[in-house]
Amino acid sequence: MIEGNPALMNLRILQAISSGAGNARLLTPDGHTSAVLAFTVMGVVNVTPDSFSDGGLFLDPRAAVEHGLRLREDGAGILDVGGESTRPGAEPVPEEEELERVLPVVEGLAAAGGRVSIDTTKLGVARAAIRAGATVVNDVSAFRFAPEMAGLVASEGVQCCLMHMLGEPRTMQADPRYEDVVGEVKAFLEERLAFATGEGVPEERVWLDPGIGFGKTVEHNLELLRRLDEIVAIGRPVVVGTSRKSFLGKLTGGRAEDERLPGTIATNVLALERGASVFRVHDVAQVADALRVAAATVAP
Ligand code: HH2
């Protein structure tokens, strides 16, 4: 067992992720399944014209489904389908348009047996996506923009990811300030978890995410990653999304989005060691390999 390890929460998390809606592919090296850290890679499927690193590449539903299936082959246990960019300064997308973008993709991936999460803050999009086969609601507003989403998750028996964001995407990067970023993010996530359970969502179905890059400076992001174990201590599976984000560019002399894989791998590996268990990334094959090796090293 891995008691005493900062990532010991992970074993319980293995169960939490794979239970319920779960047919998650837990990537555990052969022969080490009892003690090895479990993790799930969440592959990003952005069906948007304007996402910060892959906007416009998969706007055609067929291309998006093909991309998602490739990510699954590469090792993604969950495919996170999104139709609205949350990049800093992004303008909201009307519900109709978001639905048109994501529904055929959710349907296509679910029909092919993929485990799909819907990345949305809108009740109507989440509802339609669940009908189309999504089994996880990934809400970057943590039920703040549409509180009724909690009731939907409860009644449909799906899982949800609740993420911290300071304010809303349009304004979140305008001078974000915290007294203690980790303490405040943790208190926010605890409050949102309490809200969700109060609305009838079983705690076992809730994952939490510190929201790297959502209303945070480079230093805030680093502090959250450095002290991620404090977020893990809440006792729910922790999702991290550092993939290709701008703080990685800033830390490496201005690298462009497509040059940020080394930084993405470094942060995901460290987050695994600190107890995170779901890793939302664009470059699934490479990050999954890095996590496999890291997991075997942390808990052989
Ligand atoms: N990051 C993005 C979107 N959704 N969901 C969770 N749970 N955690 C994250 O860190 C997260 C997220 C932003 O990345 P991306 O989807 O690539 O960009 P865009 O919002 O521009 O589409």
Q: Which atom of ligand 1 is nearest to the CA of 161?
A: 7
* pLDDT given for residue 192 in this prediction: 98
Would you state the pLDDT for residue 32? 36
pLDDT value, residue 172: 86
Choosing from 245, 260, 274, 292, which is the catalytic residue? 245
Looking at residue 4, its pLDDT comes to 44
Ligand 1 centroid to 151 CA: how many Å?
23
Amino acid at 78: I
Q: What is the pLDDT of residue 251?
A: 98
Which residue lies with its CA nearest to atom 9 of ligand 1? 241
Q: What is the pTM of this model?
A: 0.90
List, for the chain, all residue ranges whose pLDDT scores fall below the cut of 70: 1-36, 300
- Nearest atom in ligand 1 to 213's CA: 10
Q: Which atom of ligand 1 is nearest to the CA of 163?
A: 7
The predicted pLDDT at position 19 comes to 42
Q: Is the CB of 47 under 6 A from ligand 1?
A: no
Question: Can you give the pLDDT at residue 153?
Answer: 98
